[in-house]
Amino acid sequence: MARYFDVHPLNPQPRTIAQVADMLRDDALIAYPTDSSYAFGCSLDSHTGADRIRSIRHLSDKHHFTLVCADFAQLGQFVMLDNVAFRAIKAATPGAYTFILPATKEVPRRFAHAKKKTVGVRIPDHPVALALVRELGGPLLSSTLLLDDAADQVTDGWQIKESLDHVLDAVLDAGDCGTEPTTVVDWSSGSPEVVRVGLGDPSRFE
């Protein structure tokens, strides 16, 4: 049964954030709010989290996981950026974008794309997500909370608790986050390619 945490969307309670960060360090899988929708998250050091996300979402090993980072300095540890990408991505973050870039050696091989050696990265514009990543001291390995068998995607933490109580360790409820995922920009070839149009304005990368 998942633990349920009701958090303030703008000023998340530090004690609650610390409790959830401790759970993440202990291999927990959580659902948490972002600026685009709710997401699954686990520590980058988790031994089970990625497989649990794949199982819930019925994903293959080709799925691009996303590293949710607290700031651009942290993001730069995990992906390789040239000057053009650096400037453009820095100007768009924090925001509802996911960028696919070549992974550095800081990314465990099992989390990078098997063939392309790439990984998704983003900095969300949401106080709860940012507070959690800062408290954790490292990125969250994440995937958008999409459910194949849901007639309507869940938009509130209590709905997630009801639907996924048996497969999650914790749910952070910060109210309605909507269901529109991030805009995904693949920059792994040296120039931007919008591969999914979502909440972030794609025109700046077209």
Q: Between 4 and 144, where is the model more confident?
A: 4
Domain ranges of the chain: 3-205
DSSP state of 103: B
Chain centroid to Cα 57, Å, comes to: 14
Task: Give percent above pLDDT 70 in the chain.
Answer: 97
User: Mean of the per-residue pLDDT values for the chain?
Assistant: 92
| CA gap 88, 192 in Å, rounded | 10
Amino acid 114: pLDDT: 75
pLDDT band at 85 (very low <50, low <70, confident <90, very high): very high
| CA gap 104, 101 in Å, rounded | 9
**Radius of gyration, alpha carbons of the chain:** 16
For residue 200, pLDDT over 90 is answered with yes
Cis peptide leading into 108, omega within 30 of 0? no
Exposed e or buried b per residue across 146-179, where buried means at least 16 C-beta atoms within 10 angstroms of its C-beta: beeeeeebbbbbebbbebbeeebbbbbbbeebeb
| Lowest-confidence region among 47-61, 92-106, 144-158 | 144-158
| CA gap 100, 115 in Å, rounded | 13
Q: Residue 130 in contact with residue 34, Cβ under 8 Å?
A: no
Tokens of 83: 């000057």
Q: For the chain, where are the alpha helices, taking DSSP H only?
A: 14-25, 49-57, 72-75, 83-91, 127-136, 157-164
Q: Is 142 helix (H, G, I), strand (E, B) or coil?
A: strand
For residue 151, pLDDT over 90 is answered with no
What fold characterizes domain 3-205? DHBP synthase (3.90.870)
For residue 152, pLDDT over 90 is answered with no
pTM of the full structure: 0.92
Amino acid 9: pLDDT: 94
| CA gap 180, 188 in Å, rounded | 24
Chain centroid to Cα 190, Å, comes to: 23
Q: Between 85 and 149, where is the model more confident?
A: 85
For residue 29, pLDDT over 80 is answered with yes
Strands 38-43 and 140-144 come out as antiparallel
For residue 37, pLDDT over 70 is answered with yes
Tokens of 193: 């390619």
Exposed e or buried b per residue across 11-26, where buried means at least 16 C-beta atoms within 10 angstroms of its C-beta: ebeeebbeebbebbee
Give me the mean pLDDT over the 34-45 stretch: 94
Q: Is 39 helix (H, G, I), strand (E, B) or coil?
A: strand
pLDDT in tens, 94-146: 999 999 999 999 998 888 877 888 999 999 999 999 999 999 999 999 998 87
